[in-house]
Structure 1
């Protein structure tokens, strides 16, 4: 995308220009992320922001991106910050070169309200408010093609009606449009394929950013059409500073767990505190000790299933359109992340003991296999039971 000079915005001509809504009901998710992007500090991602500033300041900004890296380190916030520069007609050389939007502009006001007409963040839960009843009633297990058509690329809906393509509409404020697809790894394969043409040749003045924690779950054909930008965990000293400022009330053993669990991710730290994951860790730890001794804790798989189900059921109660399957998958992912934090600790502690190091090095592969089984719709209880049995069969530590 060629970045327009101040006062000379790129204006697609596919559809008539309309006025920006001043006081429309805003998208709370966009509002929350935009406030962080405009008013907060993005820690630990200086390299990514510098790369974006160089691309913006150079006048030629790639029209399709993949922001990839661990969850909770600022990928989506950074995407919205870049979007704020791109879609603001007042952005000047300083804003572009530093990838720092003007926080006082009219465009920034729309972003804070969640009403900016030139930014969309596409995510699975938008299906719950769709005008398409079939899409609205569908469980939010992933990002279906129908949601992509409604929110971005157009096409025919479930009733046979033809949908307008928002990606081809003119920029309302005149500076360009940005479409962000969050958790892009949840795009169905058909959806990724349908997206290819738009990724390769988007309308003038349009930028598409895919956000993912799992780059390998995007098709090679999608990856090859996008500029890739890596995000990393925060450095330990930066993470400690963030914890002191934002979670200073968490102390002692709880603080030690949160710091180890987060592993450089502020988002993971918040999740650990909000969901009380330290209690999960305390409950699973004796069972992990049994596994290390070569024993098979028969109750472990059942208890893991119960913990995941409790969190999933609470999530579904909060959102009646949420998919129980997707909620279970997220909850088991949290369980495996708690186990992963303990495995990382033991790997570091085993560095000088080759047999133990070999033993603990095998466990992440078992976790990956179990998560793949769950994505393949293997029964959750069976997948967890198989995980525990496979772990108990490992040799090396005892």
Structure 2
């Protein structure tokens, strides 16, 4: 039985359970791991369990007391969840310290200083920690250095490299591993069956391979259009010379196919770049003697591509730079043009 119904992270749950039993819950944590593996869900469930009024349940929320009911509804006065607005590229400063006319009298840092109303301590979950500006991170730093007594602050990000060193040094880092293929397949099949659909083992195996441990990616690849694009993308990346115009056209096409909502288009482009980054990394691994994942499409295109380690590394760096630029509110059309032009010249 998985802790709080969250699969794949029981060892981390056991660590927190032991820490709570020993009275050693820290004041600040940094949850690190790839997108779509349950870090945010774990953080919210952890704060609910720690705030639960049923003290006999240790680190298991009863889901019946007033505290749990309000936590589930997102209205708990002592559990603060802050995330990046969909229309913004960074977490706004006012989310942490209030708007200019309410500086230090509103925002997450101020609310943490208030006396708990329902629970015995205050909690804060800061999602999208990768998107903290330096100014916002410095404001948060003061709270992390001198947290209110008993407060628990959880930052959720993807990599340590995307956090300021001063933030990293003041948090206990908890690393979340990618989900096992069996977990991905089980969850996807259950969700599809709830919709009246039943996937074949072949389809589930293919989705799990492509997802690489991320449940959110697995859900995206239920779309046959994306699965087909993945095959086309790998074939285009393996061509030499690479045809930049064709790659641009296909990339823009799959990005625009998701609709006109900017946030959805950015999510789609991130996926394209993640696939490309995975392709180049796998090629480097193969060149250095490591085995290729059990993926017929990836394996055939990887072996068909003749490139030096220097060329592959350059393509990987270009793709990583483009991936970061997606989060900086860059014009997507210009970004894709620049990315494919660099790959073509590599």
SS of 1:179's equivalent?
Answer: strand
1:161-219 per-position Cα deviation (integer Å, ceiling 9, x unaligned): 76242111111114111110011111111000111110111111211100112331110
**Equivalent residues of 2:234, 2:301 under 8 A apart:** no
Q: TM-score of the superposition, structure 1-length normalised?
A: 0.71
In the alignment, the residues of structure 1 paired with residue 67 and residue 147 of structure 2 have an alpha-carbon distance, to the nearest angstrom, of 23
1:352–1:328 CA distance, 2 compared to 1 (3 A):
closer
Query: 1:49 Cα deviation (Å)?
Result: 1.1
Q: 1:144 aligns with which of 81, 86, 92?
A: 92
**Structure 2 residue aligned with 1:302:** 249
SS of 1:225's equivalent?
Answer: coil
Structure 1: 5+ residue stretches without partners: 1-36, 129-138, 151-156, 315-323
SS of 1:313's equivalent?
Answer: coil
**Equivalent residues of 2:81, 2:125 under 8 A apart:** yes
2:218 equivalent to 1:269: yes
1:63-112 per-position Cα deviation (integer Å, ceiling 9, x unaligned): 000011011111112112221222223323x51xxx32223322212222
2:199 equivalent to 1:250: yes
Query: 1:251 Cα deviation (Å)?
Result: 3.7
**Equivalent residues of 1:351, 1:357 under 8 A apart:** no
In the alignment, the residues of structure 2 paired with residue 267 and residue 247 of structure 1 have an alpha-carbon distance, to the nearest angstrom, of 14
2:40 equivalent to 1:76: yes
**Structure 1 residue aligned with 2:287:** none
1:64–1:353 CA distance, 2 compared to 1 (3 A):
same
1:117-164 per-position Cα deviation (integer Å, ceiling 9, x unaligned): 111110123xx9xxxxxxxxxx422201111123xxxxxx23467624
Q: 2:185 aligns with which of 213, 236, 240?
A: 240
**Structure 2 residue aligned with 1:8:** none
SS of 1:190's equivalent?
Answer: helix
Query: 1:369 Cα deviation (Å)?
Result: 2.3
2:46 equivalent to 1:64: no
Structure 2: 5+ residue stretches without partners: 284-291, 294-298
Query: 1:308 Cα deviation (Å)?
Result: 2.3
In the alignment, the residues of structure 2 paired with residue 310 and residue 286 of structure 1 have an alpha-carbon distance, to the nearest angstrom, of 16
Which of the pair has the greater relative contact order for Cα pairs under 8 Å at 6+ separation? Answer: 1
**Structure 1 residue aligned with 2:148:** 203
1:328-373 per-position Cα deviation (integer Å, ceiling 9, x unaligned): 4333102223445666787433799698696696454332122134
Query: 1:283 Cα deviation (Å)?
Result: 3.3
**Equivalent residues of 1:85, 1:91 under 8 A apart:** no
2:269 equivalent to 1:332: yes
2:51 equivalent to 1:87: yes
In the alignment, the residues of structure 2 paired with residue 267 and residue 202 of structure 1 have an alpha-carbon distance, to the nearest angstrom, of 33
In the alignment, the residues of structure 1 paired with residue 230 and residue 341 of structure 2 have an alpha-carbon distance, to the nearest angstrom, of 15
1:353–1:267 CA distance, 2 compared to 1 (3 A):
closer
Over the residues paired in the alignment, what is the CA RMSD in angstroms? 3.2
Could you tell which deviates more after superposition, 68-77 or 372-381?
372-381
**Structure 2 residue aligned with 1:104:** 64
**Equivalent residues of 2:123, 2:153 under 8 A apart:** yes
Q: TM-score of the superposition, structure 2-length normalised?
A: 0.80
**Equivalent residues of 2:80, 2:125 under 8 A apart:** yes
**Structure 1 residue aligned with 2:235:** 289
**Equivalent residues of 2:31, 2:154 under 8 A apart:** yes
**Structure 2 residue aligned with 1:213:** 158
In the alignment, the residues of structure 1 paired with residue 200 and residue 278 of structure 2 have an alpha-carbon distance, to the nearest angstrom, of 18
**Equivalent residues of 2:54, 2:61 under 8 A apart:** no
Query: 1:375 Cα deviation (Å)?
Result: 4.3
SS of 2:76's equivalent?
Answer: coil
1:237-282 per-position Cα deviation (integer Å, ceiling 9, x unaligned): 3333333333353347754542222212223222333xx2x41341
2:78 equivalent to 1:118: yes
User: How many pairs are equivalent?
Assistant: 322
Query: 1:286 Cα deviation (Å)?
Result: 3.3
**Structure 1 residue aligned with 2:338:** 386
1:343–1:242 CA distance, 2 compared to 1 (3 A):
farther
In the alignment, the residues of structure 2 paired with residue 188 and residue 68 of structure 1 have an alpha-carbon distance, to the nearest angstrom, of 18
**Equivalent residues of 1:350, 1:356 under 8 A apart:** no
In the alignment, the residues of structure 2 paired with residue 260 and residue 344 of structure 1 have an alpha-carbon distance, to the nearest angstrom, of 16
